[in-house]
Amino acid sequence: MSISRRSASKFLAGFAAISLTPIRSAFAAGETYSIGITLPLTGADAEAARLILNGATLAISEANDSGELKGITLKPMILNNASATAGQYDPAQAATNARKLVADGKVLANVGPEMSGSGKAMAPILSMGNLATITPSSTAPVITDPSAAGEFDPGGKPIYFRTVTTDAYQGPNMANFYAETLKVPSVYLLDDSGAYGVGLADAFGKQAAIKGIKVIGRDRLDPKAADYSATLTKIASTGAASLYYGGTMQAGVKLVKQAYQIIPKLIKGGGDGILSPEMVTAAGFPAAEGWYCTNASPHVIDDPKLAEWVALYTKTYGVQPDDYAVTAYDAALVAIAGIKAVQKTGKKLTAANVRDAIQTVKIIGLQGPISFDSHGDLSSRIVSVFQFHEDKSAPTDFLKQYRYIGVAPQT
Amino acid sequence: MITPIELFAQQAVNGLSLGAMYALLALGFTLVYGILELINFAHFNVFMIGSFVGLIVLQALGIAGQSVVLHGAPLIFALLLALIVTMLVCGILGVLIERFTLRPMRGVRGPMAMITTIGVSYILYNVVLLATNAQALNFPDPLATQDFDIHHVVIRAKQILIWIISLILMVGLDQFVRRSRLGKAMRATAQDAEAARMMGVDVDRVVSTAFFAGSALAGAAGLIFGLYYNFTQYSIGYSAGLRAFTAAVLGGIGNVPGAMLGGILIGLIETMSSQYIATKWADVIIFSILILVLVFKPAGLLGALAPNRS
């Protein structure tokens, strides 16, 4: 629907440009700026990316319709961060997209990326271009770590803002949950070789050791390989009581299926990378049953206060939102708040000015109060824990196939 | 607690199953290479298409997800039907690929034909990528879970099934090439296509047959892959195909028993390096062994260097 409306307006604009040129200049206030949206819209991450895209575009179209933007129009500039060769998110493609955003003078801010691997590639380019990006889901701590600023923030000013907390909390808080709630004596760590997965498993392992969980071993899966039986047989032979997997669904689908056969009795968990519809559609029950996972945001989607928003989202896009659709909506709200703040001061609308404004933004988003620390990280540090559990009454409704366990204990 | 010897045996079982899969795929490579001296990269993705054809047939029979388990005659009927349809579709796909993209280039020297197969491979890959939106799909699992536990070494019924099917197809192919008239024509064409043509061998037909047989085997491997791992995705041809190709080279490309040996060796090396070193080093170890073998025995373990055809 939105596409047809957009193309209709494009057509009208073109029509006006040809025949009514003098009149069009009278509407100069209706200038159009862009907010970039960079997500892996094809490949293994597409399904989750789609939910994020919807959240961000919903916020932008609401802002346009409300008239709060004082005459300017914001247009989403949607760029695909995935490539066919990678089959999932592709950092090289993300870097190309970042250059495209920086080169375009009309882009005021960006929403994305979904994956930290892409974020690492984009951050230095955005930093040199002084263009802020607000990620709704990328959680690798290193990107905003001041000690890595030389690599990811050569421009000096923070440009990587997040409406989720980081794996510096997602991994360790889950380790606290393993230790305090599940009371597991030992754990085996796996990751999927990606920046996100390695960092998450590292952070989990460090805190697990502090909490007295014995880390029995650590190995790395090739996400393109099909057979993990050797790795899982090895894990079974170590007698580990639990497994923690840092990674996304490309390796996750096969891991979950084969773990069900080879290590059925172990407690198994992962991060937000496995809180994905593919857990149900591809890995499937009974294999997915019992897996724990986390989200680096508060779980608000079932909050009655959000019911109206959830209904609107579902009606507009024909799918149910997830928590990262909420944080994506919030990310776009942050960008819009930054733009409005610049408008208020009367300064020129440039990416650099919008970045400065975002740094001090304080808004109430769907998830609650949003503000950033001096590095761009979200001030709130809530990690939610979920567990997959089959609901046979609604097998096609992904959101019913896992249940909210609670907020993971914070360190 | 499992003892070190039992653990080794368990990993050997894992490796044999993985190796059987590689061997099945390696056969098709070796068959086409043996006749045309052409590395057919489209083979990877014919295998991938095979798994999707199998998926569609099984779903059309009403078998979806993990909920439908069949026994006895219906199971055999469903599996046979899926196997036959998959092998036919993939075989025909292989023939079409040869007829329309490779035959016009026959006789052209250099790597053009090989590059063409890479192109075809990418087309198949991207078509499925777009058609499935790159999602991994849950593959039907009509086989009842049946484990045999021998001294803590678990052998699954599915593993025995894949060994048997692989063995039948491999021995069948070997016998076909050795004993049948068409097999003889294939070997004659492999040795010297020009001379074979002069002796009245219909070279086009031989090449078509080789592509049909190789691609049908890839299709069978795709179906078995789906049944065994219970998932399929547009990308499965990539890593399995590369390993299978390595297996064919290790065993001696162009040599049918060599492909079997190479596949099983690669499977075993992969699982043993996961167990005793680390999974992340498995690829390094596989390809280092490949290079070592090729340095000391350039034709591969069972291969003989092709005669000079200048």
CATH number of the domain residue A75 falls in: 3.40.50.2300
CB < 8 Å to A239, chain B: 1
Is the minimum CB–CB distance between B136 and chain A shorter than 8 Å? yes
Q: Are residues A337 and A388 in the same domain?
A: no
In this complex, do A46 and B2 lie within 8 Å of one another by their Cβ atoms?
no
Nearest-CA residue of chain A relative to B268?
A230
Query: In this complex, which of A88, A237, A258 lies closest to B2 when CB atoms are compared?
Result: A237
The answer to the question of residue B285 being in a domain is no
Is the minimum CB–CB distance between B14 and chain A shorter than 8 Å? yes
Q: Are residues A133 and A233 in the same domain?
A: no
The answer to the question of residue A130 being in a domain is yes
Those of residues 341-380 in A touching chain B at CB distance below 8 A are: none
- Whether residue A27 is predicted with pLDDT greater than 50 in this model: the reply is no
The answer to the question of residue B60 being in a domain is yes
Q: Are residues A154 and A40 in the same domain?
A: yes
The answer to the question of residue A176 being in a domain is yes
Nearest Cα of chain B lies from the Cα of A190 at a distance, in angstroms, of 10
Nearest-CA residue of chain A relative to B123?
A84
The answer to the question of residue A63 being in a domain is yes
The answer to the question of residue B266 being in a domain is no
CB < 8 Å to B240, chain A: 226
The answer to the question of residue A21 being in a domain is no
- Whether residue B123 is predicted with pLDDT greater than 60 in this model: the reply is yes
ipTM of the complex: 0.85
Q: Are residues A195 and A321 in the same domain?
A: no
Span A345-362, pLDDT tens digits: 999 999 999 999 999 999
Is the minimum CB–CB distance between A281 and chain B shorter than 8 Å? yes
The answer to the question of residue A277 being in a domain is yes
The answer to the question of residue B286 being in a domain is no
Nearest Cα of chain B lies from the Cα of A150 at a distance, in angstroms, of 29
Q: Are residues A319 and A218 in the same domain?
A: no
Q: Name the residue among A150, A166, A225 with its Cα closest to residue A193.
A: A225
**Based on the structure, what is the number of domains in chain B?**
1
Predicted confidence at residue A85, as pLDDT, reads 79
Q: Are residues A274 and A402 in the same domain?
A: yes
Average pLDDT over residues A32-51: 91
Span B17-50, pLDDT tens digits: 999 989 988 988 888 888 878 888 999 999 999 9
- Whether residue A10 is predicted with pLDDT greater than 70 in this model: the reply is no
Query: In this complex, which of A46, A230, A261 lies closest to B275 when CB atoms are compared?
Result: A230
Mean pLDDT of chain A: 89
- Whether residue B183 is predicted with pLDDT greater than 60 in this model: the reply is yes
Q: Are residues A263 and A402 in the same domain?
A: yes
Average pLDDT over residues A68-79: 92
The answer to the question of residue B264 being in a domain is no
CB < 8 Å to A258, chain B: 229
Of the candidate ranges A282-296, A325-339, B87-101, B175-189, the one whose mean pLDDT is the lowest: B175-189
Predicted confidence at residue B192, as pLDDT, reads 83
Which domain range does residue B202 map to? 23-236
**Based on the structure, what is the number of domains in chain A?**
2
The answer to the question of residue A117 being in a domain is yes
Nearest-CA residue of chain A relative to B230?
A257
- Whether residue A2 is predicted with pLDDT greater than 70 in this model: the reply is no
Nearest Cα of chain B lies from the Cα of A62 at a distance, in angstroms, of 29
Mutate to test the interface with A, among B280, B284, B285 (most CBs of A within 10 A): B280
The answer to the question of residue B249 being in a domain is no
Cβ contacts of B99 within 8 Å, gap of 6 or more:
B208
Which domain range does residue A219 map to? 168-295+384-407
The answer to the question of residue A1 being in a domain is no
Q: Are residues A64 and A212 in the same domain?
A: no
The answer to the question of residue B248 being in a domain is no
Q: Are residues A161 and A42 in the same domain?
A: yes
Q: Are residues A311 and A291 in the same domain?
A: no
CB < 8 Å to A84, chain B: 125-126, 129
CB < 8 Å to A222, chain B: 239, 279-280, 282-283
In this complex, do B279 and A231 lie within 8 Å of one another by their Cβ atoms?
yes
Q: Are residues A358 and A331 in the same domain?
A: yes
The answer to the question of residue B259 being in a domain is no
Is the minimum CB–CB distance between B51 and chain A shorter than 8 Å? no
The answer to the question of residue A14 being in a domain is no
A214 vs B147 pLDDT, higher one:
A214
Q: Are residues A222 and A318 in the same domain?
A: no
Of the candidate ranges A179-188, B91-100, B184-193, B208-217, the one whose mean pLDDT is the lowest: B184-193
